[in-house]
């Protein structure tokens, strides 16, 4: 469901809001749960109909699942002690670079970023080859 909001809000560039309802089915066969999310966009109804808004929301979660989850779980980024100046953003960029390199190169046939990290920790030459230094 999307709602035209232009002229109904003082929020700059707001054109639509939508409500996304979904049911999540656990892989272990547990009880399904339902979630409701709301979104706001500067896209007009002509630029994005409800199907397009849903596609954009799914695209956002695709990024969340592919990058942020790995950064949170594999790199344990939330507990990082790096907090001064530009260091947090630099470290986030380096983690993103590592994730991208592993995904593009497929380190030694590893299926997960964690396994690729372990492989690179033990095989320095293959790590240097991955970044083009050997």
Tell me the pTM: 0.52
> Tokens 């990058």 belong to which residue?
67
d(CA 85, CA 21): 40
Which comes out higher in pLDDT, residue 134 or 74? Answer: 74
- Looking at residue 110, its pLDDT comes to 60
Write out the DSSP string of 17-40: EEEEEEEE--TTS---EEEEEEEE
What's the CA gap between 67 and 77, in Å, rounded?
A: 12
Per-residue pLDDT at 4 exceeds 70: no
Please name which of 1, 89, 9, 85 lies closest in space to residue 42, comparing C-alpha atoms: 9
Instruction: Check residue 31 and give its pLDDT.
Output: 94
More confident residue, 122 or 66: 122
Is the model's pLDDT at 5 over the cut of 70? Answer: no
Q: pLDDT digit string (tens) for 26-63?
A: 889 899 999 898 888 999 889 999 999 988 888 877 77
pLDDT at 3 over 60: no
For residues 15 and 44, the answer to whether their CB atoms sit within 8 Å is yes
**Residues 76-116: tens digit of each pLDDT:** 888 888 889 999 999 989 888 888 888 887 755 666 888 88
Query: For position 34, what pLDDT does the model report?
Result: 94
Please check the confidence at residue 16 and state whether its pLDDT lies above 60: yes
């Amino acid at each position: 469901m999307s709602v035209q909001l232009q002229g109904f809000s003082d929020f700059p560039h707001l054109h639509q809001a939508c409500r996304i309802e979904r049911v999540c089915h656990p892989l272990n066969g547990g009880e399904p749960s339902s979630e409701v999310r709301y979104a706001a966009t500067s896209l007009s109804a002509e630029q994005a109909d409800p199907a397009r808004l849903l596609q954009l929301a799914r695209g956002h979660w695709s990024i969340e699942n592919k990058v942020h989850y790995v950064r949170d779980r594999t790199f344990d980024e939330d507990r990082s002690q790096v907090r001064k100046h530009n260091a947090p953003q630099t470290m986030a960029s380096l983690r993103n670079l590592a994730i991208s390199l592993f995904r593009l190169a497929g380190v030694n046939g590893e299926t997960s970023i964690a396994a690729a990290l372990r492989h690179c920790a033990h095989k320095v030459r293959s790590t240097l080859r991955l970044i083009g230094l050997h």
